[in-house]
Every structure is written in structure tokens, then in C-alpha cells.
Structure 1
């Protein structure tokens, strides 16, 4: 990656063409339109939306990220992304729009910050192209339309890249490095160790760019490291030092944030472990120790289950498989060509005895290292791996593609150099791959593939014929080439935003045709298998976020016919649920905990969102956390604080407690299911069942309401 700079930074007003600021404004308008379209009609990830409502009711709930208003159990991620949503709700009131608005703002801000970052390194045109690519990346459009933490994570690490770019320029490097460390630390408090994946590229870029002594470099990096550690762990330490009683940290095995950092949200994501492994074995339940929004439907997180799981089998080609190719891979062949060409150019430059442009090389190291490290980690991850995690690769793809196309255009215009062929080759290679991906689902808007082919053919013809000829025609070839390269991802992004609500499914947000989950078909296109049918229990679910793990689709198909899934987009209550809620409201009086719901967030989130009652989601996200413990239930009952308990609902593919598991299948959640079983046993022994006729339920309902008054 040792090469001369893509182009001189064009920061002076004298070199900025008048159209360039307008172009950036247009890109921002497009991004905002795609991210904001109809967001007022969905709760996005209802698991987080329920938590936002609970967090807005007390400072302790806000600080911990409590799922329920009683402060019993938290979400299974750090709360930084949710803090912004709570602020929005406090200003605008609790609504779907208020919950989703911070995503639109953070997504748009990331586009602007990426432009400013790449512009400083590779010039204005490269910055504009990078911003456009990020804005139109299909998986980025999909995830920026729901309230998962990935959107804020991308903004934070892009902001850190800006600080690193300034540090590589020389003046006040220590301060800029410290700012980069702080922003990555905030990324850690958004999705834990995923925020740290950019660090190897950042350190390498600074070492390449800095002309300081090795002692000064070490001191600068030590300062940045200290800020990084404090910025990453202050919340974790505060939760440990907080006096009892305090919320149980959801997804952990011992109720602590430290366990969450190094277990489920840490090395478990990379190396798997137990049912968290993505190797391809279908399990009877979700990953052990999850209790998390990433584990749903009883599917292994990374690559298990029929058809290869949510993101396909782990391996070097995972990004190009059926599940992920349409989300992020569109410009990966172009990025590979760019990085290879820049490396060769740098080697030739050094062999010719020419000086290395350290700042230019540092930019290639930063963005190339980012893409390679993050891409490889995601490709080989054995734990939970959802398609929308790959949005973290989009800024690097945009930067490399933008700077690379500018470089290829410069080489194209130079006489007597074979490097001029790289521009038409890059266009042809990119469009060829796009056409291959489109033809995997020929019944889903295949026309855009043919449009891209036509544009590419015209562009390549002009670029081959007009080199050295009329500059205007050559520029026309460049314009057509850019249109061809971005045609398919742009179409997928627009269709995802305005033509379908599939991307609003917090369980497994995806762009394009619904064929990503388990290699099946969410949308009914020919040749696929129904994802919902692949999950035990018949409920389509998804293991989620590297920070967010989400349950199956919400609706009448939920286990027991009583609940929706927090991953669903509406979180509406059925008539039966509304009747139950009305009964509890009229009978519970002023009890502190009028309703506790077994079955985790899937069962409880709709009640939390659609009522002002304090509803406790027993067991956290998946119903397997030891919160509330039996001792807590006993204390509530003895003090007259507990009103009713609803039990019997399953989560995704997890059968209700006591259900027989077929021979050869793994027992659901192993020891983690023990906590749920103990709670249900306590309820049956200490509370009285309320007949369905009393609260308006059906006789065949699998859920039972118990009065603990």
C-alpha cells in the first residue's frame, strides 16, 4: 500500500468547484430520505424500543439500560445507543418516530464525517464518492432504518478515523490520537469488542505516517491507549461498583457487565462455544448463555441450520455467499483491485528510488487495514453473525472505492502507461459481479442487472476507444462507468427503503430479496426454503446483533398465539393480549409489579410498549437470565408488590418449560433453562391460576395467567 497520494487534498476554496458542495448536499438528502422513509410506521427492534420506554422512567434504568421499568434486568448490550433514543423520546414523546429518529441522524452524520475524512486524505472527489457509496450500501440503508446500535457504532468509528487522519497529518497528533481513542471507547460502549476491530489499522496507519521518534510514537499511542481503556470500561466498572439492589446485566452468566464483555459479547462472537457456534448443527434452542437479542429461533448464531445459517458458513468466501453478497459485496472486487494496484504502484515507486508519501500511504493502510481486519473477522467468526454486522465494512469500502476510482482516472489520463486499463477493468469487474449476484434471484428486480450491464458496456467502450481522444467523451465514459458500478446497490437500497418493510425487521435486518436467513427465502421467491419453517416451533427468528440479538417475527404465529417478537416491526397486541392487559390493570391495584411475563422479551415487549403498567420481562431477552430470581419473587409476594404472572409462552424455537425434547436433540439452553424452570415451578406452587374465561382468553391458549396477590 506504499504509493503516491491519490490526489492532493483539495481544501482551499480556490480548488473546490462550485458543484461539489451541492453534490455533498444532494448525497445527504438521498441518505436522509432512504433512512427516514416511513420510519414512523415501525418500532424497528421492539426489544430495544421497550427498553427505551423503561429507561426513560428513572435515572437508574437509564444508566443501566433496563428492559423493564422495575429495573430487574437490562438489555444484553451496553446502553450508549439507547441513551440517544431516550433523549429523543424525552424531547418528542414516546413514539415510533422518536425512537427511530436518532438512527437517521447518526446515519446521515456518518456520511458527512466520512466525506470530510476521505477528503483530507484523497481529495474532494474521492470524498464525495466515498460518501455516496456509504449512503447507498444496501445493508447500511437497512440497518439505519431500525434502532439497533450498529448505526451509532459506524458513526463513532468513522469519527475516530477522522481523528486518526488528523493525527497522521502531524500537528497536535497526541490530542487527535486521544480523541480517536475516546471515540473507539464510545464504540465499545455501543457494541463492545466489535468497536475495537479498527484498532490494528489505526495503529499501523499512525506508525506509517508519523515522522517522530519511536519513543514519541510509543508515548502518543500510550496516551491514546489510556483514553481508550477509560472510555471503554468506565461504565462497566460503574455497574460493578453500583450498590445493591441493581439491575441484572442481561445476557451474562453472573449478572455482571464484565462477564458480558469477555463472554457472550466478546470472544464468544469470534470463537463460538456450545450452541453459540456457527458450525452448521441445528440445535433445539438458542446459544447457551445468550438471553440475548442475537439468539433467536433456536438457530446457531454464525452459520448453523439449514442452508448455512444467517450469514452462511464461516470461511474466506462468506462475504460472497448467498446470505451476504447482496448486503455488502458489490464493490469488494473493485476494492481488491484497487488495493492490489496501489501496492504494486508503491513497490515500483520504491524500486525506482522515489520517496514515499507517508501520509498518502497511511490512508491506504488505515482504510485497507480496516476492510481486511473487519472482513476477515466477520468471515471466520464462529459465533453469532448477522448480515447487518457487515455495515461496519461500508465506510472502508466507500473510502477505498472512492479513492481508487480517482486514482484509476488519473492513471487513465496519463499517456504511455498500461495502468490506464485499470479503470475500464474495474468497471467491468464490478458490474460482472453485480450481475452474478442479481441472477441468484432472477425473479426479484433482475432488470437492474441488465441496466447495469448496458451502462457498463457503453462506459467500457467509450473508455477503450476515447483514451487519448476527446476528453469530453472520455468523461462521459467515466460518468457511465460510475453509474454502472452503483446501479445495482442503489436500486437495492431504494427498493429496500420504499418498497418493503422487510428491512424493518429488527430480528435480522436485510436488504434486497428475502433470501438471507438460513439460505432460505423470507419473501417467497422461487427456489428458497421458508426460513420460518426451518425453525423449531415454526416461528421465524434470528440471532442478532453483535450487540443486538433479536427474536423472531412478531404476530399471531408467535408461540402460544399470545405474543409477538421484539424483533418485529409493529409490536402490536392481539385482541387476547389486550383483554389480558385490561384484566390485569383492573385487578392489580397499585402493586409495584402488576405483571411479570415469562418467556423473555418476545412475550413481554408488546405489553411494555403498549401500556403504562410496570411489566417485568422475566429472564431478560431470551427468558434464560436468572432475573428475577426465585428469592426476588418471594420477596415481592410477601411484601404485596407482585400482582400477576403470565407463563407458558415459548421464545422462538424454545418449547415451554417441561416440553419433551426429541431424542438426539440438544436440550434447550442447557443449564440456562434451569432458572426459567425454577421460576415457573415457584409460580405454580405459590400463585393461583386465573381461568381464561375470567380475563377473556381462549381455552386452548398455551399461556396461563396466575394471580400472586
Structure 2
């Protein structure tokens, strides 16, 4: 399978001297989405991928019943009371809210209002978010690496075990993954043409992600801001202005609901669940904020993992946490390959101009992967395996982009060896993961190896 690329000269750097031609080994830029140069199979293949993803996630959807009853109760309450809908109350009488902002509950609440209270009405919106996330990752990867890379990325995302679970479940993580993917896509667009609107919309996406799962939405902010601040094809002053405008958009889109809750008389609204003093800000900075990192959540249901080898209810922390027995089977199948391909993609674009969009795409998705992975690996507070669904879009994008970029240069010794290393690492690690569950298809690990 090959993609139809066309080499183009890199754009002139407004902050420095321009280049006179494509730098050696720079990743070529494929056609933009409006270009007719996509092969004929691209659109049917995308539609087939999205249809297969939807069918996979819809299959036996009601097996989970009402899934997480904690959030389902809030959805039921929101379907009966608009006040409960707005605040994310656990009951229609508005006594207390869930311990998260309510954005992830709103689509489910609207669905139950329309179709009635049942398992499908609650969970189908999550499935649609999963299909939407696959589509967004495909669109972002395709812009720089072509449709083949986009299809690989979309398939990797759809088939990642934790994604196949959480896009069929009613926790906030499905919406969070969608909004984080949208933010990365918009930053990729902003770095391509330097338009302010893309970065502002990225700020809006992260703001609504904050209303989904508070500070987890901010884990990728340093990577996104740094990539745009360095790589955007406009002068430094404009880049700084754009980042300031995006920050303002983030504050407005994520702060309006917080302001309403804090200014609303406490006597006429539900108690903020999980907080110690009926304050959403206290909940955000305490139980759902720093407490998740250091393990000192006030009101936590259990102690954290502590330092390396410390054990605890939430497992050991450390650089290898994503590969451990509790988490590895959910997210790490292609993690070794993604890290190898990310390194290969950065080496491939090392001599490109500052504004090279191919390298910027690797930095956007790879930076998001590394920062989120680092926080998850060392956070000592409450940590569940399903949190790792946040890594799935980043891992998938890096895998798709890196695989196609190196495949096109496979006759180059270092590129061929890098691809071989990615394949070998994937096979070996797949064997290890399957060996941990010997009762499940015991012959499969040998076939994989």
C-alpha cells in the first residue's frame, strides 16, 4: 500500500531565512483534504472503518446494563429536571452532584429525554463519541501523512482494548478522549497555516474538556502550546498573541459553568459532591486536582501507590506503570512500537525547517502521548486502568504517521531497521501480554511470536 505524496518546498520561515528546497529526509507533505489527489479507495475505506467501528462498539451494547450506576443516576435525574441536568445532580431533587463537572452527562441526558431511560439511550452517545474520535484522528493524520496512515491510526484506536471498553461505557473518559483529539487536530491545523481561529477553537475544545474531567484536560497543554509557539509559520509576536487568545477562549469555555456554580446561592443549588465545603473550586484543586498527583486527596476512598514499589490500592508508580500487569493489557500492545516510530519520525524530520508541518504533527501527538503517559505513570492518587483511554488517540496517531513515513523509506538502512525494531518489539511484547493470561487462547502467543 502506498500513498500519493508530492514533494514540496517547505514554507519560508517568517522569523528567519528561507530554504531553497526540501531538506534531506524531510517528511513530504501530502495533499490537503480539499485536493483531488487522494486515491479512489480512500473515502470508501474511511467509511468502512467508521462503519466497522460503530458496529463493533454497538454489538451487544446492553450487556453492560446501565454501566456505571453512579453516572446513570445523574443521567436519569437530568432527564427529569433541567436543574439537575445543568448541575449534574445525582437525583432529581437536587440534593448533591456527582464529583465531576457535568459536560459528559449532557449528551446522555438529552438522549434519555428523547428515547426514554434504557441502556441503549445512555450508551449510544458514548459509541458515537468513539466513532467521532476515530474520524478526528484519521482526519488529523491524513492531512500530513496521507489516507493510508490515517486508516492505520483509526484502526489502531478503534481496536485498542481500553478504547473498545470506554466507548461503550458511560464514564466521562469517552468525551474527554474525543475533545482532546479535536484539540490536537486543531493545533495541527493552526501550525499548518498560522491562522488564529484554529488555535482559538483548540482552546474552546480544551475548555469543554475541563468541564468533562477537570485538570486531566490540561495534561497536554504544555506540549500543544510549545509546539505552536515554536513551529507556527507566523512571527513570534503573533504566535504569542494567538496563544493568549487561545488561553482566553479556554478560560471562557471552561469557566462559565464554574462561575455560575460558584455565584449561585448555595442554599438553592445541590451540594457539590466530593468537595469538603460545597465549593467546586475546592473540589477541582483538591480531590480532583493535586490530590490525584500526590495521593493526598481529602476524602479519598483509599491511599495511593506512593513511591516506586510502594504498592497501595492504586498500584505501584514508576516509569513502567503503563506496562505493568494491571494496565499493560489495556493500552500497551502497540506502545513500544509507537515510541520507536515516534523517534524514527523525529529523526526523519530533524533537518526540516522550523515551520515544517510534518515534524510539528509528530510533536503534537508524540508530545501529548509522552506527557500524559508520564503523569499517569507517577501519579500517586486515585488511578484506574480505564484512565489510559486518554493515551489511545495519541498512540494511534503516532503509529499511523510513523509507520507510513518509514515504510516509504524502507530501502534506507536506518528506516528499515527502525521498522524491523517496531515489528519485533510489538511481537515480543504481545507474547508477554498474552503469556500473562494463559487461559485465553494459549496458542495465540506462539503464533504472534
Considering the TM-score relative to the shorter chain, is it more than 0.5? Answer: yes
* 1:390 matched residue in structure 2: 388
Contact map agreement 1:3 1:360 (CA 8 A) in 2: no
* 1:15 matched residue in structure 2: 37
More helix by share: 2
* 2:328 matched residue in structure 1: 325
1:300 CA displacement: 3.0
Task: Find out whether 1:233 has 2:229 as its counterpart.
Answer: no
Among 123, 146, 157, the residue aligned to 2:146: 123
2:220 is paired with a residue whose SS is: helix
Among 417, 423, 427, the residue aligned to 2:419: 423
> Matches of 1:199 and 1:218 in 2, distance apart?
15
> Matches of 1:224 and 1:217 in 2, distance apart?
10
> Matches of 1:355 and 1:176 in 2, distance apart?
21
* 1:435–1:8 distance in 2 versus 1, CA, 3 Å: same
1:75 CA displacement: 0.6
**1:29-68 correspondence runs (5 A):** 29-41=51-63, 42-68=65-91
Deviation by residue 1:301-337 (Cα, 9 ceiling, x = unmatched): 5579x99456530110101110111111111111221
**1:260-409 correspondence runs (5 A):** 260-273=283-296, 276=297, 288-290=298-300, 295=301, 299-302=302-305, 308=311, 312-347=315-350, 349=351, 355=353, 358-409=356-407
> Matches of 1:215 and 1:241 in 2, distance apart?
36
Contact map agreement 2:342 2:399 (CA 8 A) in 1: no
Deviation by residue 1:185-217 (Cα, 9 ceiling, x = unmatched): 000000000011111121122123213222111
Among 75, 89, 112, the residue aligned to 2:135: 112
* 1:73 matched residue in structure 2: 96
Contact map agreement 1:188 1:194 (CA 8 A) in 2: yes
* 2:111 matched residue in structure 1: 88
* 1:219–1:307 distance in 2 versus 1, CA, 3 Å: closer
2:317 is paired with a residue whose SS is: coil
1:7 CA displacement: 4.9
> Matches of 1:266 and 1:379 in 2, distance apart?
16
Q: Which runs of 5+ in 2 are unaligned?
A: 1-23
Aligned residues: 423
1:68 CA displacement: 1.2
* 2:441 matched residue in structure 1: 445
> Matches of 2:118 and 2:304 in 1, distance apart?
31
Contact map agreement 1:160 1:184 (CA 8 A) in 2: yes
* 1:611 matched residue in structure 2: none
Tell which deviates more after alignment, 327-336 or 405-414: 405-414
Deviation by residue 1:341-374 (Cα, 9 ceiling, x = unmatched): 2333344x3xxxx645621121111011001100
1:28 is paired with a residue whose SS is: helix
1:223 CA displacement: 0.4
> Matches of 1:165 and 1:428 in 2, distance apart?
31
* 1:433 matched residue in structure 2: 429
Contact map agreement 1:56 1:86 (CA 8 A) in 2: yes
* 1:223–1:99 distance in 2 versus 1, CA, 3 Å: same
Which structure has the bigger radius of gyration?
1
Deviation by residue 1:226-264 (Cα, 9 ceiling, x = unmatched): 111111121111001113321000000001111111011
1:421 CA displacement: 2.2
* 1:118–1:310 distance in 2 versus 1, CA, 3 Å: farther
* 1:435–1:303 distance in 2 versus 1, CA, 3 Å: farther
* 2:274 matched residue in structure 1: 251
> Matches of 2:304 and 2:129 in 1, distance apart?
27
**1:284-683 correspondence runs (5 A):** 288-290=298-300, 295=301, 299-302=302-305, 308=311, 312-347=315-350, 349=351, 355=353, 358-414=356-412, 417-453=413-449
Contact map agreement 1:30 1:135 (CA 8 A) in 2: no
Q: Which runs of 5+ in 1 are unaligned?
A: 277-287, 454-709
* 1:151 matched residue in structure 2: 174
1:132 CA displacement: 0.7
Q: What root-mean-square deviation, in Å, do the aligned CA atoms of Structure 1 and Structure 2 show?
A: 2.1
> Matches of 2:149 and 2:238 in 1, distance apart?
32
Deviation by residue 1:98-126 (Cα, 9 ceiling, x = unmatched): 01111011111110011011111222111
